[in-house]
Chain A
Amino acid sequence: MSTLEIKDLHVSVSTEDGAKEILKGVTLTIKDGETHAIMGPNGSGKSTLAYSIAGHPKYDVTDGTVTLDGEDVLAMSVDERARAGLFLAMQYPVEVPGVSVANFLRTAKTAIDGEAPKLRTWVKDVNAAMGENGLDASFSQRSVNEGFSGGEKKRHEIAQLNLLQPKVAVLDETDSGLDIDALKVVSEGVNRFSAGGDKGVLLITHYTRILRYIKPDFVHVFVNGRIAEQGGPELADQLEAEGYDKYVNAAV
């Protein structure tokens, strides 16, 4: 049982000309077992929403609340949020030179579980999660994301999702830049994650393509820092046909 509840979230970034408001009141509730798709044009604030949930220091929450099972997420540090059960698959995963994937994954798993994973099963689990996402065992010895192709970085994010088993996953344009085979691989990874029916997924995407493989329960159209429209999966089909124009024009 877990619920991520976002209420009237306002977020600014600081610019040379002072604070600039990017999220202008976002309200959204993700219950366990639910997959929500957020779709919107570039620059509408999708990544801002994802990073704000994860606690990136660049984003200032000026108003609103975010809670996970009633706990105040905004009061938590970045790592506390992850340990509370939140996971962000980043649009642009960061390279960490000199830190091996194996070491990174073990350290993360230990931090999240509060104890080191059992040696005997862990290596198997890692190899399985990597393998299922199309990354061979040699990736374990490489530096985190360093020299990975765009697709490999995204698949590595989903392998982490599978290993760390958070309560709620926020996936920021995990589909962008993937060819169709890689898209299927990551979609299967996300579906494996949510298959138990007790996980929440916030799937942020620019395109409808991934929704052929991951079935959302709800679709939200995100424009200019707000949710402009919500509906079921049929809303995605409508967006596919009509694009964002009518929402963008209405927002200006």
Chain B
Amino acid sequence: MSTTVISESSNNSLHPITAQLVGAASALGGSITIICPGGIGATDAAQISGVSKVISVEGGCFNTYDCIAWSESLSPLVKDDLILSSSSAMGRELISSIAATKGVPVVQDVTNLAEGLLVTRSIYSGKAIEEVRISSPCAISLRTNSFEAAGGGGSAEITTVNVSRDITVAVKQALTKAGERLDVSEADIIISGGRGMGEPSNFSHLYEVADALGAAVGASRAAVDTWDDIPHSMQVGQTGKTVTPNLYIAVGISGAIQHLAGMRSSKYILAINKDPEAPIFSVADYGIVATWEEALPVLKDQLSEILSS
């Protein structure tokens, strides 16, 4: 089966999930074409192993984000029976619109993809796993860190195409800039704080640990709702972001079902909480019963010791 991968970018360069999408497509066999909206990351995309062709799509409409204009520009370039994208907020929107434009079904946030096409996804906030059979042509978005990334060393041909549909969504002003910091949905390691942090200024301790680990900082809804300084973009959970990092560190978070919905599929979970009965310990691989005031300084010291050695 031949596959078209819609590449993902962040900060004007190719996002690592793109290599994971190629990895998933390679396992199915067939040729792989990567489409790069706005031409971002085309050179890097061409170097991913197993890619036959890169289409760098340039055009005025890619200067701001308009889901419909983007999808109308990209859809005619999609010729394959399987369309893959990342399940980031933008990846989902774009692939939904492309699928609807092409009249093919879409299944989102898939964690396993096998021939036939059999796909696996988590439903009801992680309370059940669903296996779905979908006939091609179809579109599928894949969850970050669920698929082995394809390696480098490729040298696919890059074709540049100029298309631009009219923008109908005009950006009037930027209200807040996306954080300079790594977003929780992109991170391999996340350290999140809850109401137990006491005050928003205490999140600085989480940032210090995050900086040592190259991690993103997240928060519970109680933290986001209580403190203006903690933006909703940091919220993990049912009404925040669903994350699947390799390591999730929950500090001063009780572990309400709605919080677990967003992070229970993390590979490893470390919980730091002063209450030995806190429900977060029921999903934690490693639990430390202590206050963050006691535990975080030791954690910082330990990390700087091992990471510098």
Chains A and B are bound partners: no
A residues near B (Cβ < 8 Å) are none
